[in-house]
Structure 1
Amino acid sequence: MARILIVDDSPSQLVSMKRIVEKLGHEAITAEDGASGVEVAKAQRPDLILMDVVMPNLNGFQATRAISKDPETGHIPIILVTTKDQETDKVWGMRQGAKAYITKPFTDAQLTEAINGALGG
């Protein structure tokens, strides 16, 4: 069982992703914006992070960069899960340290495949 941090400012998206994560048998922890996502990542050391991009305080690109550049959290794979569907957004997200990029709305199967791939399953 992995511990997966879900960072999203939308309560409905948090519930949706948490349901999928728990259905896969993993533990879900949550944060409601990029800044708290970075704090939770440092404190909890999750095995994987699902990160929204469009959020208040610190956006997902900034939070991903902060987590991936920090020696304490840089090993944690990050999947960006966002409504930003332009190729330039995807390229930029990957440059910030993301391992995968999923656009919303996503299917359970898409998120499951990304989680399993990031966890090496």
Structure 2
Amino acid sequence: MKILIVEDEKNIVLSLKLMLEKMGHDVVCTRSGVEALEISRKISPDLVLLDIVLPGMDGFLVCQAMRKESDTSKTPIIFISALSREEDIKKAFNAGANEYIVKPFTPEKIRETVEKWL
């Protein structure tokens, strides 16, 4: 399965990428919301792990844009964010998120959630 990671923190990207590749997935990473949309059009990911705070275009806007595109309208989008306020979580689901994980997260939580949506 193809997983797109959209995250601007290098350490988080590395840990997620390693874990998901060990699970047998093909992983593509970007640190930019705009680039995430370009990549998703090219590869049609099976799942997206999406941060909210990104340079240029935030995760809420990325998620809304992906929901409007035919190739990603049904793709599971899992937000992974340090934002833990109820308003932020509601905003994520209103934008089209399937799941919301608050940082810091455990590898088990990521594994369970990815397996649930794939």
TM-score normalised by the chain length of structure 1:
0.94
- Structure 1: 4+ residue segments shifted above 6 A: none
Q: Which amino acid aligns with 1:98?
A: A
Matches for 1:15-94 after TM superposition, within 5 Å: 15-94=14-93
Corresponding residue pairs, total = 118
User: What is the alpha-carbon distance in structure 2 between the residues aligned to residue 110 and residue 87 of structure 1?
Assistant: 20
Please give the per-residue CA displacement for 1:39-80, whole angstroms capped at 9, x wherever unaligned. Answer: 111111010000010011110111011001222321211000
CA drift of 1:10 comes to: 1.1
- Deviations for 1:12-48, whole angstroms, at most 9, x for unmatched residues? 1110110121121111111111111111111110100
**What is the root-mean-square deviation in Å for CA atoms of aligned residues?**
0.9
* Structure 1: runs of 5 or more not aligned: none
1:70 and 1:96 map into 2 onto residues whose CA distance is 13
> What's the secondary structure of 1:98's corresponding residue?
coil
Deviations 1:62-109 (A, max 9, x none): 101100122232121100001001111111101111100001110000
Unaligned 5+ runs, structure 2? none
The percentage of aligned residue pairs carrying the same residue is 34
Partner residue, 1:105: 104
How far apart, in 1, do the equivalents of 2:101 and 2:37 lie?
Answer: 20
